Amino acid sequence: MSELKQQIELAVQAIRKETDFAPRIGIILGTGLGGVAREIQAEKTIEYARIPGFPRPTMEDHAGILHFGRLEGQPIVAMQGRFHLYEGYSPAQITFPVRVLKALGIDTLVVSNAAGGINRKFQAGDLMILDDHINFMGVNPLVGANDDTLGPRFPDMSEPYDKKLVALGMDIALAQGFRCHRGTYIAVTGPCLETAAEYRMFGVMQADAVGMSTVPEVIVAKHAGLRVFGVSVITDMCIPETLKPADISEIIAIANEAEPRLTQLILRLISKM
């Protein structure tokens, strides 16, 4: 048994000592999904600190709690708190919780994030459903020895985001009258925001939005054989010609304003899974 698999089993054993709840859908509660957390009919909550191998979030709005319960009648497990390369964690640490959720029985992973808009048709406050991504982080969580019982050495990434879920999400957004797009997300390491030249480069690369998370978790989810649905809240526009210093308070305000729309999108999506 590989060292990674041993670590996964230790984490699962610790969780199973506290709950035998069997989730089918995993959710990473990124920026804008606080409303979803409040909708969960909780069966059990477990602090990350009680789970072997789980990192500790360093960001103020990432609580570090695993929620087990039901959402729209579906059995789910939700991570309230994710991890980033810029916090100093390795790709393996960032993605370890996804491995544990898979071992707990999920078959689908839902992820969200805040992102800067590169596509000039977007507006701050829009939603973007991910239909592809570019890994521009310079690292990959699958580098190193591969445990074939966890996934293949060379996983296919021709469909990182499930096409049926993408189409369903777009239909829901249209029916609700939300400004929502589908597009390509490019992931960078951070924590600094990008220069005008970098935004121009990302546009040439046909990226629609840029952020500092999500892609490592999605890579591991696909390696593990999970279906994935991803959505971004466009919190600011990154147009090189009009670039100005980022106002973090304004970005947070836009994310909060978009939260009800994102929450409704996720709830309706999960209800139809």
pLDDT at 32: 62
Label residues 24-44 b or e (16+ Cβ within 10 Å = b): ebbbbbbbbbbbbbebbeebe
Residues 16-32 pLDDT 10s: 999 999 999 999 987 66
Q: How far apart are CA 238 and CA 9, in angstroms?
A: 43
172 neighbors 268 (Cβ within 8 angstroms): yes
pTM of the model: 0.96
pLDDT at 62: 53
Q: Which residue in 62, 66, 63 sits closest to 51, CA to CA?
A: 66
Residues 44-92 pLDDT 10s: 999 999 999 998 876 655 578 999 999 999 999 999 888 999 999 999 9
Chain mean pLDDT for the chain? 94
How would residue 251 be classed by pLDDT, with cut points 50, 70 and 90? confident
Q: Show me where the domains of the chain are located.
A: 3-271
Label residues 172-192 b or e (16+ Cβ within 10 Å = b): bbeeeebebbbbbbbbbebee
For 126-137, what is the mean pLDDT?
98
Token digits for 56? Answer: 């500790």
237 neighbors 123 (Cβ within 8 angstroms): yes
CATH architecture of 3-271: 3-Layer(aba) Sandwich (3.40)
Residue type, 56: R
For 175-193, what is the mean pLDDT?
97
Question: Residue 173: is its pLDDT beyond 80?
Answer: yes
Q: How far apart are CA 57 and CA 89, in angstroms?
A: 10
